[in-house]
Amino acid sequence: MARRSLLLSAGSYLPKEILTNADLAKRVDTTDDWISQRTGIKQRHIAAPGELTSDLAVHAAEQALHHAGLRGADIDMLILATTTPDHTFPATATKVQQRIGMKGGFAMDVQAVCSGFVFGLATADNFIRAGQAHRALVIGAETFSRILDWKDRNTCVLFGDGAGAVVLEAGEGDGTSKDRGVLCTHLFSDGTYYDKLYVDGGPSTTQTAGFVHMEGKEVFRHAVVNLAAAVDAAIASAGIKADDVDWLVPHQANRRIIDSMGNKLKLAPEKVVVTIDRHANTSAASIPLALAEAVNDGRIQRGQLVLMEAMGGGFTWGSALIRY
Ligand code: ACO
């Protein structure tokens, strides 16, 4: 027998305001064609003034809890993956904990930028399998619009705001790849590339939040190689074949990166969950947003094998394989 983290449900939330490529073309020197062709993005959601990362996270968490038939009080571990916390401290996770009515257990933030959800999921899975937690909420939530320089066309066209959440619960399996639940996670980082994708502020350096800077081509080059390695690690460690994968739910940074991973797995295009056209890159929120969409519209069915992969600043990257 093996202890497993079962994926009970998923939820998501997107702020109401939509900013299209055409809207952006009025602010910076860009075009809908450039953004669509290079990235696959058509629009993004933007949090309203005063709408915080914690607000987005609470909406997504409540929807996930509702779909699982649970309440906040039923959760004993809450992990919030975010790069855009409400404050430098306390962890935004603790605010979310209070607002969903979670009385015991613990809540903490995880920071791995766009890989944050995979890092959070791996953390929760390890706590559950170690017997130190029973039911976990893993949330990815971002107000990335707050750390963008809206005059920099290299970055401001790429990102959006949103949140997604999943509920995990301890269960039993046989210890094989036929089990339901999280089958494996693989995390990586390499600080050699710290300055390829970063924010030029922080409490210890400038006492400001700063703005995003990215060497796009360099990040792209590493993303394709690193994500392929993370996917290979998942497949090898679970002892499955690439064509056993039913769904790819990738981080949504660039349509060309998403397509290259789908092609690598020889997955039919309709088996790759794509939201980048509507959500843009929502960093730690992108995978749970995509997952929630495909679970809640019935595309992803119980028993199917779902592969997730992400890469972000640091660099950080990783994968998670789950049988839903
Ligand atoms: N509109 C019009 N032109 C633009 C824009 C824009 N919004 N942005 C840049 N350009 C111009 C550049 O100035 C450049 O012009 P030049 O040739 O005259 O100098 C030209 O377009 C090409 O720019 P590149 O940066 O070379 O374009 P590229 O094809 O590499 O696409 C992109 C850029 C979309 C950023 C791509 O490199 C990419 O997606 N990189 C990976 C992003 C990623 O995976 N991020 C990971 C996670 S993000 C996180 O962790 C926060």
For 161-201, the pLDDT digits (tens) are 999 999 999 999 999 999 999 999 999 999 999 999 999 99
Question: 287: Cβ below 6 Å to ligand 1?
Answer: no
Question: 254: Cβ below 6 Å to ligand 1?
Answer: yes
Specify the pLDDT at position 129.
Answer: 98
Residues 6 or more apart from 110 whose CB is under 8 A from it? 79, 80, 81, 82, 116, 119, 120, 123
Q: Label residue 286 by pLDDT band (50, 70, 90).
A: very high
Specify the pLDDT at position 289.
Answer: 98
Nearest atom (ligand 1) to Cα of 314: 50
pTM to 2 decimal places = 0.97
Question: 197: Cβ below 6 Å to ligand 1?
Answer: yes
* Structure-token pair, residue 252: 């949504």
Strand bridging mode 135-143 / 77-81: parallel
Q: Which of 31, 38, 110, 317 best tests ligand 1's pocket when mutated (most atoms within 8 Å of CB)? A: 38
Q: Using alpha carbons, list the distances in angstroms from residue 55 to 21, 30, 60, 111, 139.
A: 26, 31, 9, 18, 12
For ligand 1, the distance from its centroid to the CA atom of residue 217, given in whole angstroms, is: 7
**With pLDDT > 70 as the criterion, what percentage of the chain qualifies?**
100
Q: Please check whether residue 96 is in contact with residue 108, taking contact to mean a CB–CB distance below 8 angstroms.
A: no
Averaged pLDDT, 13-30: 98
Residues known to be catalytic:
114, 251, 281
Specify the pLDDT at position 3.
Answer: 97
Strand bridging mode 43-46 / 17-20: antiparallel
Specify the pLDDT at position 244.
Answer: 96
Question: 188: Cβ below 6 Å to ligand 1?
Answer: no
Q: Label residue 315 by pLDDT band (50, 70, 90).
A: very high
Specify the pLDDT at position 264.
Answer: 92
Specify the pLDDT at position 142.
Answer: 98
Nearest atom (ligand 1) to Cα of 39: 34
Specify the pLDDT at position 43.
Answer: 98
**With pLDDT > 90 as the criterion, what percentage of the chain qualifies?**
100
> Which has the closest alpha carbon to 306: 255, 240, 222, 220?
240
Specify the pLDDT at position 171.
Answer: 98
For ligand 1, the distance from its centroid to the CA atom of residue 285, given in whole angstroms, is: 21
Averaged pLDDT, 265-278: 96
Specify the pLDDT at position 136.
Answer: 98
Specify the pLDDT at position 176.
Answer: 97
Specify the pLDDT at position 84.
Answer: 98
Averaged pLDDT, 264-287: 97
Q: Please check whether residue 2 is in contact with residue 173, taking contact to mean a CB–CB distance below 8 angstroms.
A: yes
Nearest atom (ligand 1) to Cα of 212: 51
Q: Using alpha carbons, list the distances in angstroms from residue 34 to 160, 207, 257.
A: 17, 35, 16
Averaged pLDDT, 146-169: 98
> Which has the closest alpha carbon to 316: 196, 147, 136?
196
Q: Label residue 224 by pLDDT band (50, 70, 90).
A: very high
